[in-house]
Amino acid sequence: MKRFEHAIPAGIICAIGMWVAYVSYTQTPAEAFVFPRLVATVFVVLAAWTFVRSLMPDAKVQQAISAATWSNILPGVAVAAIYVFWAGKALGFYTATTLAVFVLISYYDPAPHRDVRSWGKRILITAGFMAVMYLLFAMLLGVFTPREVLFR
């Protein structure tokens, strides 16, 4: 399983390299793809070498991501993905960020969820941080962000 784990990313990179090389050598006009061809050729050679090395019996094998790590990162990455790909645009940056920060802090905070004071602390951290973000980006830098659903 450990060897398989290292061969997967090496294989994916090798496949990407081959796709890059295929596109570089088949697309026209050829003049626009001269530099990409150069890069793709070296890319494929190095990626293939890495992939083959990862399958060799003497390849250095160590577990890169344990099951416990997966279970720790997946909820956070899922919340972050929803925040980036959907909530940011659909709800507006400030609303989405408030929700994302609050959910992440609440999920990863080791303080017991039954403790009322810990919820107060989480709300306070989120509100304080969002106040700073609003001051910084909306008031000071004047960054135009997607329309908010809760306020204008």
Partner 1 sequence: MEFLAWFGPVFEPVAFLLLLGGTIGGLILGATPGLSPTMAVALLIPFTFHLQPVQGLILLGSAYTSTVAGGAVSAILLKIPGAPANIATTLDGHTMAKAGQGKRALQLSFLASLFGGVFGVLLLIFLTPVLASWALKFGPSESFWIAILGVTIIGTLGGGSVIKGLLAGCIGLWLSTIGFDDILGTQRFIFHSSLGGGINIIAALIGLFAIPQVISMFAKGRSTTSMDVIDVRPHPIKEAIRELGQSRLALTIGTAVGSIIGLIPGVGGQIAGLVAYDQTRNFSKDRAKFGSGHPEGIIAAESANNAMVGPSLVPLLTLSIPGSPTAAVLLGGLIIHGIFPGPNIFLYHSNVVWPFINSMLIGQFLMCIFGLLIAGYAARIARVPPYAMAAVVLALAVFGSYSVQNSMNDVYVMFVLGVAMYFLERYGYSAAPLVLGLILGPIAEGSFVEGAMIANAQNGIFQYFFTGGLNLVLIAIVVASIGYSVWLELRMKRHEAKV
The residues that touch partner 1, with contacts defined as CB under 8 A, are 6, 9-10, 13, 16-17, 20, 23, 27, 29, 31-36, 38-40, 42-43, 46-47, 49-50, 53, 64-65, 68-69, 71-73, 75-77, 80-81, 83-85, 88-89, 93, 97, 100-101, 104-105, 107-110, 125, 129, 133, 137, 141-146
Q: Which residues are within 8 A (CB) of 48 and not within 5 positions of it... i.e. 6 or more apart?
A: 14, 17
Rounded CA separation 108/87 (Å): 20
Q: For partner 1, which is the closer residue by CB, 80 or 127?
A: 80
Let me know how many helices (H) and strands (E) the chain has, helices first.
Answer: 6, 0
CB of 104 to partner 1, least distance (A): 4
DSSP designation for 64: S
CB of 15 to partner 1, least distance (A): 13
CB of 55 to partner 1, least distance (A): 14
Rounded CA separation 109/101 (Å): 12
CB of 103 to partner 1, least distance (A): 9
CB of 116 to partner 1, least distance (A): 19
Report CA torsion sign: 28, 33, 38, 44: negative
Residue 108's Cα: distance from chain center in Å? 18
Report angle CA 57, 59, 60 to the nearest 5 degrees: 135
